[in-house]
Structure 1
Amino acid sequence: MTKWTPKHEAPEPLEGNVVATITGGTVLWFLLFLAQLPFYGWLSDHDRLWWLWTCLAGGGLGLIGIWYVRKRDAAIRRAQGEPATEG
């Protein structure tokens, strides 16, 4: 099994503006949900109603993600000794 084990170290993780990324994705899920609402009847007739509920679930999970990454960002800042920004 050792012949399949990588012989180099893993690169450092990329740190970007995670809060903005998760927020943008959450907004996108909710926009997709709202865009599909006028087609509720068509989606229901063609057994594609799950598309609508998938978008709503994505938006809901995104709200949890926003809460999580904001708390994570604040914890990282506290650990580095920087003041946590509100908002």
Structure 2
Amino acid sequence: MAKWTPQHEAPEPLEGPVVATITGGTILWFVLFLVQLPFYGWFDDHGRAWWVWTCLAGAGLGLIGIWYVRKRDAAIKRASTTAEPTAAD
């Protein structure tokens, strides 16, 4: 098994516009929910009502995600401002 295990370190995670990405995804899930809502009867008749509720759940979880990444981003910025003066010493 050891011959298939990589021997190099994992790369650093990519940082990008995380808050914007999560916000965009949350908006997309909510728009999909709103678009499907008028057709709920059709979805229910065909046993696919879970599609509508999945979109609503995605929007709800996205709101939690927005809260989380905003707090994470603020903590990272706070940590970088407090770490800079000590790194210069």
Q: Is TM-score (shorter-chain normalized) higher than 0.5?
A: yes
- The Cα of 1:28 is off from its aligned counterpart by 0.1
Q: One-letter code of the match for 2:12?
A: E
Map of 1:36-47 to 2, 5 A cutoff? 36-47=36-47
Q: Which segments of structure 1 move beyond 4 Å, counting only runs of 4 or more?
A: none
State the SS of the aligned residue for 1:10.
Answer: coil
Structure 2 residue 15 is matched with structure 1 residue 15? yes
Partner residue, 1:31: 31
| Matched-pair identity in % | 80
Partner residue, 1:58: 58
Q: Gapped runs of 5+ residues in structure 2? A: 83-89
Number of equivalences = 82
Query: 1:65 and 1:14 mapped to 2: Cα distance?
Result: 18
Q: Gapped runs of 5+ residues in structure 1? A: 83-87
- The Cα of 1:9 is off from its aligned counterpart by 1.5
Query: 1:33 and 1:26 mapped to 2: Cα distance?
Result: 11
**Bigger proportion of residues as helix:** 2
C-alpha RMSD of matched pairs (Å): 1.0
Query: 2:49 and 2:73 mapped to 1: Cα distance?
Result: 36
Query: 2:78 and 2:20 mapped to 1: Cα distance?
Result: 20
Q: One-letter code of the match for 1:28?
A: L
Kindly provide the CA deviation profile for residues 21-75 of structure 1, in whole angstroms up to 9, marking residues without a partner as x: 0000000000000000110110010000000000000000000000000000000
TM-score (norm 1): 0.90
Query: 1:2 and 1:60 mapped to 2: Cα distance?
Result: 43
- The Cα of 1:7 is off from its aligned counterpart by 1.3
Query: 1:13 and 1:48 mapped to 2: Cα distance?
Result: 37
